[in-house]
Amino acid sequence: MAAFINSKTNIIDLKNITVLFKNQRKEVRAVDNVNLAVERGDIFGIIGYSGAGKSTLVRTINLLQKPTNGSVIVNGIDIKKIDEKKLRVVRHKIGMIFQHFNLMSSRSVLGNIEYPLLDQKINRKKRQQRALELLKLVGLQEYVSAYPSQLSGGQKQRVAIARALANRHQF
Ligand SMILES: Nc1ncnc2c1ncn2[C@@H]1O[C@H](COP(=O)(O)OP(=O)(O)OP(=O)(O)O)[C@@H](O)[C@H]1O
Ligand SMILES: [Mg+2]
C-alpha cells in the first residue's frame, strides 16, 4: 500500500462504475457507467432525483456496495484488488455519514462519538478528550450528555459528522 501521500493524485477515482440490482423479476441499473475524479481537498456534490443512484454510487467508494463493473481507486489504491484486512484499514479512513444517522439511542452524544474509538488502543481519558474536541468542532458542546432523541435532525447529523471524523488516525 502506498505509504506516502502524493498531492497530485486524485483522492477518489471512480472508473466506469455500474451497479445492477437484480430483484425477483426486474433488474435495476442504479448506476450506469459513471466516471468521476475527486482531487485532494475538493468538495464534490452529487445531485439527482430521489432514487437516481446517488447513495449507491457513494457506497461504492468504500465498497460497502460492490460495483457490478468498474474500478474504485482511493488514494491511488485499487481497492477491489486488496484483501479484506487491508480493506478494513482503508475503510477506517473513509468517514461516511449515512442518511439514517444510526445514532445509538441508548448512548449519549459523547458515547456515540466515542464509539468508533472503542476498538482502538487509546485510554478512556484520551478517547473522551478526542470526542469532546470533535463535539466542539461541530458546535454541540452543550449537548455532551444529551441523548439522540433530544436533538433536532441537523444536530443529529452533526453528531454523525463528529463520529465519522473520530475514525481519523491522529491523536
Ligand atoms: N439493495 C437494493 N436492492 C435493489 N434495489 C436497490 C437497492 N438499493 C437501491 N436500489 C434501487 O436503486 C436505485 C438507486 O437508489 P439510491 O439509494 O442510490 O438512490 P438515491 O439517489 O440515493 O436516492 P435518494 O435521494 O432518495 O436518497 C433506486 O431505484 C433504488 O430503489
Ligand atoms: Mg440516497
For 62-108, the pLDDT digits (tens) are: 999 999 999 999 999 999 999 999 999 999 888 888 878 889 999 99
State the average pLDDT over residues 18-38. Answer: 93
Spell out the domains of the chain, with CATH numbers in brackets.
10-92 (3.40.50.300), 109-166 (no CATH)
Q: Whose CA is nearest to atom 17 of ligand 1?
A: 55
What pLDDT, on the 0 to 100 scale, is given for residue 23?
A: 79
Q: How many CB atoms lie within 10 A of CB 138?
A: 19
What pLDDT, on the 0 to 100 scale, is given for residue 1?
A: 36
Which of 17, 18, 19, 21 for a ligand 1 pocket mutation test, highest count of atoms within 8 Å of Cβ? Answer: 21
Asked whether 98 lines ligand 1 (CB < 6 A), one says no
Global pTM reads 0.76
What does 2-51 look like in DSSP terms, one character per residue?
Answer: --S--TTSEEEEEEEEEEEEE-SS-EEEEEEEEEEEEETT--------TT
Check residue 70 and report its DSSP letter: E
| Tens digits of residue pLDDT in 107-127 | 999 999 999 998 888 899 999
C-alpha cell read off for 153: 435532525
